[in-house]
């Protein structure tokens, strides 16, 4: 199964982020998306938040009511197994067929705003130091453009 964009999600601030069929991607992130607390979210080094569909499915199997966009990710990505996601470390790049290029910069520490996506409000379930390889990822935009649901991409793993 090729790696594809399962869902693109934006909001005027806060969660859940809601699906859109496509979005323009600039150095600051997705057009139409905003973050309420810009000290910790958004900006050029946290322009696009990523999370895989495979981990949403794993978390659902554990009893968490998470769904695409509910923990604030902009791109929910399909076709990446949990083992592959764990290899996406800072410096890794995602090259989308439409021309957008992203570089992973850091892990996204979860905050209590996403607690309703987790059984017993366990939002720390996606914290990198507690559950390695199961965190959201922040990325910077190396090449701007447009991105669409269903678009394919390749990964260049760092190291």
pLDDT of residue 69: 97
pLDDT of residue 17: 95
Question: SS3 sequence, the chain?
Answer: CCCEEEEEEECCCCCCCEEECEEEEECCEECCCCCCCCCCCCCHHHCEEEEEHHHHHHHHHCCCCCCCCCCCCCEEEECCCHHHHHCCCCCCEEEECCCCEEEEEEEECCCHHHHHHCHHHCHHHHCCCCCCCCCEEEEEEEECEEEECCCEEEEECCC
Taking only the tens of pLDDT, the chain with its 159 residues reads: 789 999 999 998 889 999 999 999 999 999 999 765 655 566 789 999 999 999 999 999 999 999 999 999 999 999 999 999 999 999 999 999 999 999 999 999 998 999 999 999 999 999 999 999 999 999 999 999 999 999 999 999 997
Quote the pTM value.
Answer: 0.95
pLDDT of residue 159: 76
* CATH code of residue 78: 2.40.33.20
Full domain range(s) for residue 112: 4-156
Instruction: Name the domain count of the chain.
Output: 1
């Amino acid at each position: 199964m090729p790696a594809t964009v399962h869902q693109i999600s934006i909001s005027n601030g806060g969660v859940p982020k809601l699906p859109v069929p496509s979005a323009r991607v600039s150095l600051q992130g997705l057009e139409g998306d905003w973050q309420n607390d810009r000290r910790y979210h958004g900006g050029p080094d946290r322009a696009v938040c990523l999370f895989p569909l495979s981990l949403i499915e794993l978390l659902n199997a554990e009893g968490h009511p998470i769904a695409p966009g509910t923990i604030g990710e902009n791109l929910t990505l399909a076709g990446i197994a949990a083992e592959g996601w764990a290899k996406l470390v800072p410096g890794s790049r995602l090259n989308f067929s439409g021309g957008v290029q992203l570089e992973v910069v850091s892990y996204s520490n979860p905050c209590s705003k996403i607690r309703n996506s987790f059984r017993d409000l366990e939002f720390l379930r996606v914290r990198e130091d507690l559950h390695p390889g199961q965190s959201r990822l922040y990325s910077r935009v190396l090449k701007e453009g447009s991105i669409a649901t269903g678009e394919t991409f390749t990964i260049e793993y760092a190291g």
